[in-house]
Amino acid sequence: MDIVISAAGDGWEASFGDRRWRCAVGRSGIDTKRGEGDHISPEGCWPIRRILYRADRVAVPPATRLPCMAIDPADGWCDAPDHPDYNRPVRLPFPASHEALWREDRLYDIVGVLGFNDDPVVAGAGSAIFLHVARPGYGPTAGCAALARHDLLELLSRIDADTRLCFRRGG
């Protein structure tokens, strides 16, 4: 069974089986991905490769049947299309453009890494598409999917290695 993210009223929702949760998507909505930095949540279905979490803020690892590992302040993600580590985890300090996974805003306290543009990686096609904790008020993401922390934990407890996250345009 897949997680389906689609429009719901004037916002977005994630559904899995009979459960539905409010969520956020990219600032530019769900569409065909155009490239790095377009703020689009990429239409299609993507495997969830693993779960990352901050052990200093998440008392016990998330209950999930997916691979799960703690991150630390030196964890990052390369978003430099011209670098060989593009769309891959990296250790900081890192010389090319990257995103720090250890954030103060709590959005990456729990992160599902989606298998978008990773097999193979295509330079410039988009990087770091995650399932993570939503901003207060469900403000838009840079192209990810985001749920309230308690909803994300519930969702992660229900899925397994065969579950994909599907961004769908329309209702």
Question: Which residue in the block uniquely carries the two structure tokens 């993507």?
Answer: 46
Active site residue 144: yes
For residue 33 the two structure tokens come to 């991905």
CA distances from residue 42 to 73, 91, 123, 144, 170 in whole angstroms, order as listed: 28, 26, 16, 8, 13
Catalytic residue among 98, 132, 150, 166, which?
132
Specify whether the CB–CB gap between 29 and 145 falls below 8 A: no
Catalytic residue among 23, 78, 98, 144, which?
144
CA distance 108 to 101: 6
For residue 125 the two structure tokens come to 């096609």
- 41: nearest Cα among 67, 6, 72, 17: 6
Residues noted as catalytic: 132, 144
